[in-house]
C-alpha cells in the first residue's frame, strides 16, 4: 500500500473524493490503517472483507484475530466500528416493499469482479433481519443450491427471503441458469414455508427483478 502514489492511497482518495468513491476493500484499509510486514493493509482488508461477506457482518473479535496481522487492538477497532454502524443504520428497520428497496443494501456488491449471490432474511413485516453472501462465483457463473440459501434463514426463523446477485458484466438480463436457480429456490421456499419473494439481478448500471417482470 505504501508503494502506491499518494493520490491513489485510500486515505488520500477518501479525503479528496469522499468515502462513497472508495471500494469496500479500500474503506476497510482506511479503518485498519496499517498492516504488518507479512500481510500489508490492502491484503488484510481483502481477507477481512471476505470474512464479513461470509458471516453477514456479524463478527466476533476472536474470529477477527485469526486473520494474520489482526491483533487485539485492530480486532477491537473493527468490531466496534461494525457495531456502531449497525446501531446507527438499523438494518433491521429496512422494510422491503418494492424490489428497488433492496438496492441500497446490496449496491456495494455491484462493482465486484465476481458474482456474489446474496440472501436477505425477512421477518413477518418484511423487514431485513440479515444479509449474507451465499456463494461467490467466477465472473458470470455461480452455482447455488437451495440448502445453501435457506440454511441460515431457517435458523433466523425468517418468514420470507429475497435473493440477489451481481452481474460483473453490467448486463442485468438474467441468464438461463439464473432462471433455473430462481425456479428451484421458489419451489424449495414453498416446501419449507419460507417463500422466495424476489430474485434481483443487479449491477452498477441497473437491476432486473423477477417479481416486477411477472416471473415470480
135-164 average pLDDT score = 83
Would you say the pTM of this structure is higher than 0.75? no
Say what the pLDDT of residue 139 is.
43
Q: Are 74 and 64 within 8 A, CB to CB?
A: yes
Q: What is the CA radius of gyration of the chain?
A: 18
pLDDT in tens, 112-141: 888 899 999 999 999 988 888 888 875 445
Predicted confidence (pLDDT) per residue in 11-32, tens digit: 888 888 888 778 888 888 888 8
- Mean pLDDT (whole number) for 166-176: 91
CB atoms within 10 A of CB 34: 12
Residue of 176, 175, 165 lying closest to 202 (CA atoms): 165
Amino acid at each position: 500500500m505504501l508503494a502506491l502514489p499518494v493520490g491513489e492511497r485510500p486515505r488520500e482518495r477518501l479525503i479528496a473524493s469522499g468515502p462513497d468513491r472508495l471500494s469496500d476493500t479500500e474503506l476497510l484499509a482506511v479503518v485498519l490503517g496499517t498492516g504488518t510486514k507479512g500481510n500489508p493493509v490492502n491484503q488484510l482488508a481483502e481477507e477481512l472483507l471476505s470474512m464479513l461477506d461470509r458471516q453477514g457482518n456479524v463478527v466476533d473479535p476472536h474470529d477477527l484475530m485469526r486473520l494474520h496481522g489482526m491483533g487485539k487492538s485492530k480486532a477491537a477497532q473493527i468490531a466496534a466500528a461494525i457495531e456502531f454502524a449497525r446501531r446507527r443504520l438499523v438494518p433491521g428497520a429496512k422494510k422491503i416493499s418494492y424490489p428497488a428497496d433492496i438496492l441500497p443494501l446490496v449496491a456495494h456488491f455491484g462493482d465486484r469482479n465476481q458474482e456474489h449471490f446474496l440472501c436477505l432474511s425477512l421477518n413477518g413485516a418484511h423487514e431485513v433481519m440479515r444479509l449474507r453472501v451465499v456463494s461467490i462465483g467466477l465472473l458470470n457463473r455461480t452455482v447455488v443450491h437451495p440448502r445453501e440459501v435457506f440454511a441460515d434463514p431457517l435458523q433466523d426463523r425468517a418468514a420470507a427471503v429475497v435473493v440477489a446477485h451481481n452481474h460483473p458484466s453490467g448486463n442485468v438480463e438474467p441468464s438461463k441458469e439464473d432462471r433455473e436457480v430462481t425456479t428451484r429456490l421458489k419451489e424449495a421456499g414453498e416446501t419449507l414455508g419460507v417463500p422466495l419473494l424476489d430474485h434481483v439481478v443487479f449491477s452498477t448500471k441497473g437491476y432486473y427483478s423477477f417479481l416486477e417482470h411477472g416471473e415470480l
